[in-house]
A and B are shown apart, each in its own frame.
Chain A
Amino acid sequence: MSEKTLTRMDLSDSVFREVGLSRNESAQLVENIIQHMSDALVKGDQVKISSFGTFSIRDKAARVGRNPKTGEEVPIHPRRVLTFRPSHLMKERVAAGNKG
């Protein structure tokens, strides 16, 4: 497995190549898309991108946790967590591409 890490820059490069906008504008669009998705999630909305996957917010109840090192009990406050459910297409592509 190659195990490269892609960043915003790689995504904006692909917009630059595929759509032919300037590098600057491509980078700005990638940023704005991420921003809109984040804002929707922070508002508590689900973000559903067909053929990619669904991001949703779950409320976690308060519970008593434990510091694994010291064994000390620590309260864990209620919090909101983000979960991602990949589309069938993504699961199939990832499974097929990494086979063998």
Chain B
Amino acid sequence: MIRSELVQKIADENPHLYQRDVERIISTIFDEIIEAMARGDRVELRGFGAFSVKKRDARVGRNPRTGASVSVEEKHVPFFKTGKLLRDRLNGKS
């Protein structure tokens, strides 16, 4: 399923909404999750999963081609952990 198919499903279920409103609703939700993580916040959607930010420490990396060492700065990366209900559903429980 891609973004436009999700928009279509929601639009089909809500004939009173314009397609462009459905697009805005979906963008608003996903943007809000990104913005929250950009502030360092978590987003927990019970039953689905939780988005959080993990810190990766600075390290000395290597250019795999030349073997030269390069320093890699500390950085923050997005992380998703699947919720219990969805994990169970994926495996045919509940």
**Residues of A participating in the B interface, judged by any CB pair closer than 8 Å:** 1-8, 10-11, 14-15, 18-19, 21, 26, 29-30, 32-34, 36-38, 40-42, 45-53, 55, 57, 79-84, 86, 89-91, 93-99
Which of chain B's residues has its CB closest to A26's CB?
A: B25
CB distance from A55 to the nearest CB of B (A): 8
The number of chain B residues touching the other chain, given as a range, is: 35 or more
B1 touches A98 (CB 8 A): no
A91 touches B78 (CB 8 A): yes
Query: In the complex, what distance in Å separates the CA atom of A32 from the CA atom of B83?
Result: 17
Which of chain A's residues has its CB closest to B91's CB?
A: A79
Query: In the complex, what distance in Å separates the CA atom of A83 from the CA atom of B94?
Result: 20
Q: Is B62 an interface residue (CB 8 A)?
A: no
CB distance from B29 to the nearest CB of A (A): 5
Interface 1/0 per residue, B1-39 and A, CB below 8 Å:
111001001100110000001001110111011111111
